[in-house]
Amino acid sequence: MKHIISATVTNKSGVLARITGLFSARGFNIDSLAVGETEHPELSRMTIVVDGDDAQLEQVRKQLGKIIDVIKVTDISSEEHVERDFMLIKVNIPPDKRSEIIEIVDIFRGKIIDVGRKDMIIEISGPEDRIEAIINLVRPYGIKEIARTGGIAMKRGAK
């Protein structure tokens, strides 16, 4: 099963290496990882998407919780949550296909953030399936480059 682990950690050299090491020591391959700043300059928040056995992953989660620099760790996938991915994608633009591509970008509420002679860079966010859908739609024009962040997630508010 796919799990989304969210961890608040102190923003120190070595913490990231220690955490990723813990996953690899147990043979888990991390599908995606995003780590960025929080409201507190001394803290970072990591989102780790990993596929694996529930019981084994629960062990990893517990071990993470024991690391002094890990303030909080939750498996968001077990709660009501929203998950979003983000991507930059550089696509070929054959001159006669330009308007077709722009149309696709508009439908997906993406943004064109760079236009070169032969290619453009599109910025797009959304649920994973939306990201996959736009990749499939622009593939026929030729994809030059993809940079994805992998998912970040958050527990929904009480209704």
Q: Are 50 and 5 in contact (CB under 8 A)?
A: yes
Kindly state the smallest distance separating residue 97's Cβ from a second copy, in Å.
15
Residue ranges that bind a second copy, judged by CB under 8 A: 6, 11-14, 16-17, 20-21, 23-24, 27-39, 44-45, 47, 82, 84-88, 90, 109, 111, 113-121, 123, 125, 135, 143, 145-150, 152-159
Specify the residue, 32 or 77, whose C-beta has the smaller distance to a second copy: 32
Q: Are 142 and 91 in contact (CB under 8 A)?
A: yes
Specify the residue, 54 or 145, whose C-beta has the smaller distance to a second copy: 145
Q: Are 123 and 114 in contact (CB under 8 A)?
A: no
Instruction: Please state, in angstroms and rounded to a whole number, the distance separating the CA atoms of residues 29 and 33.
Output: 11
Specify the residue, 66 or 156, whose C-beta has the smaller distance to a second copy: 156
The DSSP code sequence of 40-70 is STTEEEEEEEEE--HHHHHHHHHHHHHSTTE
Kindly state the smallest distance separating residue 55's Cβ from a second copy, in Å.
18
